[in-house]
Amino acid sequence: MFLLERKRQPRLPFAALVVFALVFSCAAQTSRVAGAIQGSVVDQTGGAVAGATVTMRNLGTNRTRKVSSNLEGSFRAGELPVGQYELHVESPGFNIYVNTAIVVSIGTVVQVTVRLAPATVQQQITVSEQPPSLDPTETTEATTINHDRIEESPVASRNYLDFVLLAPQLTRSNMQGATGGKSALADSGFTFAGLRSRSNSLYIDGVENNDEFSGSARTELSPETVQEFQVVNNGLSAESGGGASGPINVITKSGVNTLHGDAFLFIQNGVLNAQEPLTNETEAPHLSRFRAGLSAGGPIVRGRTFYYVAGEQEGEHSDDSSLIPPLVASAINNLLGSGAFPKIAIRSINPGLFRVARAETEFSGRLDDQIASKHSLLLKYALTNNREAGDAFNTGGLVDPSGRGSSFVQDQGVTGSLTSVLSNNALNSLRFQLSTRRAILRTTDQIGPEISIAGLVDFGRPYDGNDKRRENHYELLNVASAARGRHLVSFGADFDWIHENASAYDGFRAIYTFPTLDAFLNGQPDQYRQAFGNPTTHFATPRYSGFIRSLDAGQPFHH
């Protein structure tokens, strides 16, 4: 099944992928992992104050970034980690200016106008009002969802990506398998403005996190470890390529100077559940579900080295039911029990309740270190194990338990970044990932064939869904930016090497399709399909891309 449909992306030579995004008086998305503070320093008459020392201090980690205002009084500090900052401005002959309420969000630019008062009397001016996080040159249409909103909003699952539906123009996708219910090749789960749900792009801490074939997310994160994420509906940055639909940028939590941890346990059972109203069952279905989690973060070396770890475990055992009419099941079981079709492994079908189960483990650990005054390092490891028994795919109401799917999917990887302040007006960010996905799909019946009676029932080994696959990702990405006068130039290159090794046994056990129940009882199928050949394949997909973007900010500034 893995080989039936692949997420198609244009493959062009490197030279053709270099995008010159020459933008005048407008800016696209600032960064996939950070934000920026920019503005101007003026005196009481509005005149520019050159050479002012502007210091931005992260209140969580106590890390600082210093820049100076240029001849026009402008300044800019880019690639700032998300969080709350204190802005400290001082210049000879003026009072000190302090603003303690600046919040930097992912992909945004905070605009600040600092008005310095003459130092006739030595004093400090303190401001505690958040300036607007709105760049007048910004054309990106994006929605930022922070951790507070994730914690406070109700959601039926612990999947943080469900919150993307809070953004405009996004809706759930309705990807289904051939027999209804879940598909063996799941998509991302949502669609941007009706675009293909397998063409979305998901980035975690600046590196891509998509399944190459289906477009679904690979590593799943506990909501406890998500700092915030941004949904970009329109106005993509030049570096966000590879997907025809919208990108989602996710950043994970970093530890801070104070130790903090959380623990939780959710339990649900079916003791008080009622009977299913649309079935013939005389008892309520069984349900037992729990989800437990733990997170902790803090300093290893205060002001320099921090850690953050989070993990969750979910387990569920429950009953599901089919919608196969009892009279249909009785007629089929009588025929199967008589031995009329000796090559069909299934001797009876189940129109009632049957047991399904699910178990999921999520873990991630992150280390941040200020290795030098102008160089910061991030390293992160993430693991996801997901097992579903009888409820992974082919879950339509007319599918017998023999045709339902089970799955095991494991994702793990190491990602990292090195951010360097090269000078007062130049930055560089180097990011990488080494990750792997292992996926195994199995159906309850392994012998086959599949029997499909149109509109009544499907049972036996399905045509698709007995596959295994390993997908490895190796990515190296570098983005640099430099400011000169009124121009900000950013450029970068991305190398992503993906290796696939898959075995797909779809259709090897054949499928018989019958138009009616009478046709099945009389052994008269109207269609037969079976696949042959080598089910194993492996190949590499190297992707090279690059970009150059020039921005006229409307006023001169320095990084």
Q: In a structure prediction context, what are the per-residue pLDDT tens digits for the chain, which is 559 residues long?
A: 333 333 434 333 333 333 333 232 233 456 889 999 989 999 999 999 999 999 999 999 999 999 999 888 989 898 999 999 999 999 999 999 999 989 999 988 898 999 999 887 656 666 666 665 555 555 567 888 888 888 888 777 788 888 888 888 788 876 655 555 566 556 667 887 777 777 788 899 999 998 888 878 899 899 999 999 888 877 667 777 666 677 889 999 999 999 999 999 999 998 888 877 766 677 888 899 999 999 999 999 999 999 999 999 999 999 988 888 889 999 999 999 888 888 888 889 988 889 999 999 999 999 999 999 899 999 999 999 999 999 888 888 899 999 998 999 999 999 999 999 998 889 999 999 999 999 999 999 999 899 999 999 999 999 888 899 999 999 999 999 988 766 788 899 999 999 999 999 988 999 999 999 999 999 999 999 999 999 999 999 999 999 998 877 554 443 3
* Backbone φ and ψ of 333, nearest 5°: -65, -35
Q: How far apart are CA 77 and CA 439, in angstroms?
A: 43
3-class SS of residue 360? strand
Q: How far apart are CA 218 and CA 204, in angstroms?
A: 10
Amino acid at 341: F
This model's pTM is above 0.75? yes
- Per-residue tokens: 391: 């409820």
pLDDT of residue 20: 31
Q: How far apart are CA 150 and CA 227, in angstroms?
A: 9
Contact 229, 145 (CB under 8 A): yes
Burial class (CB in 10 A: 0-12, 13-18, 19+), 156: exposed
Domain 31-127 indexed as CATH 3.30.360.10? no
Size of the chain in residues:
559
The pairing of strands 375-393 and 353-372 is antiparallel
Neighbouring C-beta atoms of residue 287, cutoff 10 Å? 14
CATH 2.60.40.1120 residue window(s) in the chain: 31-127
The pairing of strands 457-460 and 405-423 is unpaired
Q: How far apart are CA 515 and CA 262, in angstroms?
A: 57
